[in-house]
A = this chain, B = another copy of it.
Amino acid sequence: MVCATPECMQCGSRLRNGMLEIGIDGALQVTQTKQTSIHRRGSYIYEHGQYPHGVFCIHHGHVKIVRSGADGRDHIVRFAKAGDITGYSSLLTNEKYATSCIALDDSIVCSIPAPVLFHQIRENPRLALHVMQQLSTEVQDAQRQIVELAHKTIRERLAETLLVLKEVFGLASDGLTLASPLTREEIASVVGTAPESVIRTLSEFKADKLISTNGRSIRLTNLKGLARIANIHD
Contacts and interface: CB of A to CB of B under 8 A. Distances in A.
Contacts of A150: 69, 75, 149, 192-193
Interface stretch (A8-16, A26-34, A104-112, A139-147): A139-147
Contact of A71 (B70, B90, B233): B233
Given A70-B152, A146-B149, A135 B129 contact: no
> What is the copy number of this chain in the assembly?
2
Nearest to A142: B142
Interface residues of A, number: 46
A182 interface: no
Nearest to A95: B140
User: What are the 5 closest A-B residue pairs judged by CB atoms, nearest first?
Assistant: A150-B192, A142-B142, A135-B135, A89-B136, A128-B128
Contacts of A193: 150
Contact of A73 (B75, B92, B151): B151
A122 B125 contact: yes
A89 B147 contact: no
Interface in A68-96: 68-71, 73, 75, 77, 88-90, 92-93, 95
Interface string A118-139: 0001100100110111011111
A179 interface: no
Nearest to A130: B92
Contact of A93 (B128, B137, B143): B137
Contacts of A99: 143
Contact of A125 (B69, B70, B93, B125): B125
A186 interface: no
A232 B144 contact: no
Interface string A198-227: 000000000000000000000000000000
Contacts of A47: none
